[in-house]
Structure 1
Amino acid sequence: MRLLIMGPPGAGKGTQAKGIAERYGVPAISTGDIFRSNVAQRTPLGLEVERIMHAGGYVGDDITNQIVADRLAEEDARHGFLLDGYPRTVAQVAALDELLTARSAQLDAVICLEADRDELVARLVKRAESEGRADDSEEAIRVRQQVYADETAPLLDAYAERGLLIRIDGLGSVDEVGQRIADALDARG
């Protein structure tokens, strides 16, 4: 299976990605995790990513596309993967399409977790408080929700036109949402 999981911040993508990857025997690949790992290890990429993030920006398409291409070339991802946090732009969609075409592969489905924005903000504010994330103010969380709506959500239309999009209600227990995803993927065959 070659899958994407998308949805606004706080929808539970990372949590659900682990279960999906386990169920289908593919690696869950999070660009955010790759970036954070590089920052923690103080690699040249990590230093550049840290500089960009401290300035409030997003890591550019060129860097992100290369990181994903390198990761998908690893042995465990040759026959399937679940991408979390990628693609986020039209240019990244095109880069992923080119990469898959070059490997005579294609996406099987794009899972989109959907949830009420106010519910997600409340969830993230609570998580920020319990994890001591001082930089995760309600205002910052709402900005990220809007950035998602403006920049990433339009990609869903492109995947819907290709017949790949599966919309899933992302509210409920981890198991309930996981079962909705499994049922939807199983129904696709």
Structure 2
Amino acid sequence: IDVNVGHINYTEGKINTLPDDLKHLYKRIKHYQRTLARKRVVNGKRATKSNDYVKTRAKLQRDYRKVANIQHDIMQKFTTQLVEEYDKIVIEDLAVKEMQMTHVASKGLQRSMFGHFRQILGYKCDWNGKKLILADKYYPSTQRCSKCGHIKTGADKVGLNGNLKHGTKHNEYICYECGSVMDRDENTVYNLLALIN
């Protein structure tokens, strides 16, 4: 999402794009984790003492370090770009600890390192005299219609799996008041932009 004050350049499908080397590392980590798990199931505690197990675990730890370095580099470059291009930046003050307790959101949050992102962005904004606006964690950015202001409550709310009552998908926002149909992320961005003005 490329967001400017009063302007959105929204390109679907490019939000969650990961570098190829990071995707490759994630696959390798998954492979090593499964290999070690299988060895523990077959051989129990004895597995951890075998040379093969120790070598595989060392490879896994090496790839964890590589992932951390790549993520840190991406985070630094992205936050620098944001601060250079915009005078006001709005992000949601997510309840990260609570969200990590849910299986669906935990892996994505861990990989996104949201808390670290917020911290870096905060001090870079301070250094450069830019304004960082934190939307309160209870601000209904995903439930509010950016067109008419209607806020979904109760069984009408959109969750991680969409809305069961209305049969909507996770990535779509349908306002039951004015009938607007939008991408959920795009609707959220418009709601966050409203906090700047």
Q: TM-score, normalised by structure 1?
A: 0.41
